[in-house]
Structure formats: structure tokens, C-alpha cells
Amino acid sequence: ETGVTQSPTHLIKTRGQQVTLRCSSQSGHNTVSWYQQALGQGPQFIFQYYREEENGRGNFPPRFSGLQFPNYSSELNVNALELDDSALYLCASSLDPGPMNTEAFFGQGTRLTVV
């Protein structure tokens, strides 16, 4: 148990719809990173939020957006869903932004299926 919780655990959406995934960070952590893990692949960095501001972004289109709230929980929003968006979405929280400085604790993920 890492203290990082993600909801929902599973989700099925239709192509073209929009989806919101949620992450509750570990107590005391001000940084949340989101990763996409497609089947058979390693996680890919989507973006990171630090103290409510985006703090780094991977190679994902603008229809992937996020928010971080004052309590440091976070949302990942994906618009105009495509079949290739089907994946496990992982949230990781940490004490500060640099993965080289502190350990990132991962949630169990949200399995998104787009049909």
C-alpha cells in the first residue's frame, strides 16, 4: 500500500468521448506525475504537476490535460478518445518534482478501454 489511490480502477469509453481520471496523492506529497502504460510496454510520461502548476510534459497531444488541486490531488483529462488511448494510466506522487531526489510512489492505475 503506497497511499496513492486512483479512481476508477476500470473504465470503458467510446471513441470520441471524454474521460477524467483521478489520483489522490500520498499525504505530504506536493507532486503528481501521470504515465500511460499500453499493453506490453513500459510506462510513458504524460506530464507532471507541482504545486498546482504543470511542471513538465511528455510527447502527448493537447487533448491530454490535467489539473492539480490545493490538496495536491490530481486529474487527468483526455478529450476525443481514440482507440490507441486504451491503456493503464498510472499516477505517481512524490515529495518534490525531481525523480532523482525522492522516490515516486505509484498508484494501482486506472485501466481505460476505448471501444
User: Taking CB under 8 A as the criterion, which residues in 36-55 touch other proteins?
Assistant: 40-45, 48, 50, 55
User: Taking CB under 8 A as the criterion, which residues in 53-112 touch other proteins?
Assistant: 55-56, 58, 90, 92, 97-100, 103-109
Least CB distance to other proteins at residue 16 (A): 29
Number of residues counted as binding other proteins (CB under 8 A): 29
- With helix as H, strand as E and coil as C, how does the chain read? CCCCEEECCEEEECCCCCEEEEEECCCCCCEEEEEEECCCCCCEEEEEEECCEEEEECCCCCCEEEEECCCCCEEEEECCCCHHHCEEEEEEEECCCCCCCCCCEECCCEEEEEC
User: Taking CB under 8 A as the criterion, which residues in 12-31 touch other proteins?
Assistant: 31
Q: Which three cell numbers stand for residue 47?
A: 506530464
Nearer to other proteins, 69 or 105 (CB): 105
Residues lying near other proteins in the complex (CB under 8 A): 2, 4, 31, 33, 35, 40-45, 48, 50, 55-56, 58, 90, 92, 97-100, 103-109
